[in-house]
Amino acid sequence: MNIKGLILTVLIIFSFVNLNSLGKFYMTEPAKRGQSFEFLVNVNNPTNHALDDVSVKLYIYDLGERLNSNSFDVKKKDTKLAAINWIIPKSMPPGTYLTKLSVGNDDYTNVKHFYLTVV
């Protein structure tokens, strides 16, 4: 690889590090035990490069529960709506849980935290 190729690679990686792909997100609220929970998030790609194999992940810290969307591609300057559906176990204790939302692929990740209330 010559120096021009190395510089281009570094610039592309740097642009993905600060990529803000998380748009608005919506969820069934309050989440009810024994019922379906739907989580939707807009995934934005503000770059001039397609993003491949992007996925949305939720992690509920206190429960150790991980939820994942199917992977998808987002064309340059485009937005996709991703969904996660989950049947909340009846045995899950009601409460408010700190939850991590992450969107990304092998090149970048954006993270937000929010509280999920389960009744």
Q: What is the mean pLDDT of each run of 10 residues along the chain (119 residues)?
A: 40 45 74 92 88 94 95 93 92 94 88 92
Q: What per-residue confidence (pLDDT) applies to 35?
A: 94
Q: How many domains does the chain have?
A: 1
Q: Which CATH number is 109's domain given?
A: 2.60.40.10
d(CA 27, CA 67): 14
Range(s) of the domain holding residue 65? 3-118
